[in-house]
Amino acid sequence: MGRKYAIIGVGHVGATIAFALVTKGDADELILIDKNEKKARAEQLDLQDATARLETRPKIKIQDYSELADTDILFVTAGNIHALDHASGNRWAEFEYTREIVKDIAPKIKESGFHGVLIDTMNPCDAISQYLQKEIGLPGSQVLGTGTFLDTARMQRVVAENFAVDPKNVTGFVYGEHGESQFVAWSTVKVNGLAVKPLAAKKQLDLDKLEAQARSGGWAVHSGKGYTSFAIATCAVKLSRAVFDDAHLMCPCSTYNAKYDSYVGQPGIIGKNGVEEVVTIPLPPEEEAKLAKSAATIKEKFETM
């Protein structure tokens, strides 16, 4: 059976995901949907032109919600990135736009009979992921957001630069909102298998400064090129491959936290059914308090939807 993907919103992020799926040979079928049909058609043609130089030849279709009925993975990447231009990285600036987008697309997704796994990159990611889940009616495990998966990657980069190691040798998690109230759970972070706090003390590194660099990473990219695309698309594709491979990959994502009654960035196990399990790692009281505060921020905004 082939691997069928769909993307709603083929702007910077959606187009990058599409390019990655096609060039990596991940997609046997790919459905592109955008409010701008001319843009969707252009991306379809551009990808089809590329297939003459690739090893695979996926079927690429556009603008047909009925195709979602047997789609395995749906990426929802629509938004208005220009809402962030004067927002200093505050992802809630997109809220008024993305809320209306969900009101438009959620009934269409539900009507299509889609029953696969939905991966959301829209901002504010946590609240929008929960809104999509409620409106479409899929089990919570099948609707997840990229959430702090990207923020964790940014933390890994910053820590790796300061310790002169490969980012993949930095483990640990950023928890909470994909936004200003996120936090690095330093109690979980290790460098080459060693707890980061003693290592940082030895090198006289200020972890608060490293956290600030990681938190502002997205804004630094946005300020330079007007949007972010490569890293978030890579995170989304990584999650999708974990689903198709039933990898049981442990990574942070935005999913429902029963304790705080909200979607929030936290570690989960990603497999064929989406979020197979939420992993509860004991956090010290100060970090648990930060998680509670971040979840409350998300929940407060979600309730205005």
Q: Is 117 marked within a binding site? A: no
**Of the given ranges (44-48, 80-84, 92-96, 186-190), which has the lowest mean pLDDT?**
80-84
Q: Catalytic site residue 178?
A: yes
pTM for the model stands at: 0.95
Q: Is 34 marked within a binding site? A: yes
- Angle formed at CA 189 by CA 198 and CA 250, multiple of 5 degrees: 160
d(CA 118, CA 18) in angstroms, rounded, equals: 15
pLDDT single digits (tens) 221-267: 988 999 999 999 999 999 999 999 999 999 999 999 999 999 999 99
Q: Is 271 marked within a binding site? A: no
Mean pLDDT in residue range 156-168: 98
| Residue 304: per-residue pLDDT | 81
pLDDT single digits (tens) 92-137: 778 888 989 999 999 999 999 999 999 999 999 999 999 999 999 9
- Angle formed at CA 15 by CA 150 and CA 268, multiple of 5 degrees: 30
Mean pLDDT in residue range 279-298: 97
Instruction: Kindly state the percentage of the chain with pLDDT values over 70.
Output: 96
Question: Within the chain, what is the greatest distance between any pair of CA atoms?
Answer: 58
| Residue 80: per-residue pLDDT | 76
Q: Is 147 marked within a binding site? A: no
The DSSP bridge pattern shows strands 73-76 and 59-62 to be unpaired
pLDDT single digits (tens) 219-228: 899 889 999 9
d(CA 12, CA 7) in angstroms, rounded, equals: 12
| Residue 222: per-residue pLDDT | 86
pLDDT single digits (tens) 181-221: 999 999 999 999 999 999 999 999 999 999 999 999 988 99
* CA neighbor of 269 nearest in space, from 239, 242, 249, 289: 249
Mean of the per-residue pLDDT values of the chain: 95
Q: Is 12 marked within a binding site? A: yes
Domains of the chain in sequence order: 4-145 (3.40.50.720), 148-302 (3.90.110.10)
| Residue 82: per-residue pLDDT | 61
Q: Is 13 marked within a binding site? A: yes
| Residue 135: per-residue pLDDT | 96
Helices 148-163 and 196-203 meet at what angle, rounded to 10? 40
Mean pLDDT in residue range 44-52: 97
pLDDT single digits (tens) 53-75: 999 999 999 999 999 999 999 99
Helices 148-163 and 217-225 meet at what angle, rounded to 10? 100
Q: Given 82, 86, 178, 248, which residue is catalytic?
A: 178
